[in-house]
Amino acid sequence: MKSIYDFTLQELEEYFIKIGEKKFKANQVYDWLYKKRVTSFDEMTNLKKEVIEKLKQDFTMEELVVLAKQKDTDVEKYLFGLSDHQKVEAVLMHHDYGKSLCVSTEVGCNMGCAFCESGRLKKVRNLTPSEMVLQLLQIEKLSHLRITHVVLMGIGEPFDNFSNVMKFVEILKQPKGIELGARHITISTCGIVPKIKEFMNLQDQVNLAISLHAPNNELRNKLMPINKAYPLEVLIPTLKEYIEKTHRRLTFEYIMLKNVNDTEECAKELCELLKGMNCYVNLIPYNETSHFEFQKSDQKQVMKFYDSLKKNKINVTVRREFGSKVMAACGQLRSHHEEG
């Protein structure tokens, strides 16, 4: 039996027509689910009893189980248990511009980035749209806060679960539902070129972020196996096409790894690689874990790198550090629970 949270408004309209009911009932259900936030079909008091019974037969409203929660300054990390006893994480970050939720899209990840905790435990399966939606609904409920931004940068590669992710995004944007603006949603990918092309053809206003982390193929091959399939000479022209077609500014995520990708030479190569592109670079302090030897770059080195990009007219920011006192690395809380 599928979760009611897996369905877009259009799909629910089609469901009601199929069972001989008026399609406007889908609007009523969406209102109960996403505006009034009820957690049982019996609370949907403007639906006929027989309709409620039919919904109970056809759908579940099962929530995720909160297995653990950790809190630090301006950040809360949640570990959720799924119906098949798998586990995923979501992170709520408090920014001056609003409340941002980092959502997981898969159980584990097959991309195998050398520095990434969430990829250390291989992909078990895709998350369904409902399992992504419920991360948001339950954290809003538990925190008593309205989430204003969603980033798909948690466990998993979003474009490796493309159809479910795009359905999740549609549910997020639905004005009769969660009503989150497209420009407040960011999808991050390590660079799956065919899916980037598919995404750009949707003509959506959703933001795209590229996990780059290296300015040349030699280094990126070592850090990110995806680069062997889609090297920079394939990825970068695709991204230029994306910018030209969508007129959207692109974000490049760049985790700063001490004495690996934070050198002056790397900064020069990055400037050359991105020259002339409508983009900005987000320099990210590395969250160290016991499973990898990588270390975070010194603050002085980060600022030298930042200054090099600025001087070359590359828009650049340094992301504020979150969760230094919690298991902040993506997938770290999950792996801690999995491995005991």
Cite the beta strand spans of the chain per DSSP E: 2-3, 59-60, 65-72, 75-81, 87-95, 98-103, 106-107, 125-126, 149-152, 185-189, 207-211, 250-256, 279-285, 315-318
Buried b (16+ CB within 10 A) or exposed e, 195-208: bbeebbeeebebbb
Nearest 5 degrees, angle CA 172-CA 178-CA 179? 80
**Cβ proximity of 80 and 67 under 8 Å:** yes
Residue 130: HSE in the Cβ half-sphere, 13 Å Cα cutoff: 16
Distance CA 306, CA 302 (A): 6
Our answer to whether residue 288 is catalytic in this structure is: no
Distance CA 182, CA 158 (A): 16
Catalytic residue among 89, 106, 117, 131: 89
Our answer to whether residue 11 is catalytic in this structure is: no
Which residues are known to be catalytic? 89, 330
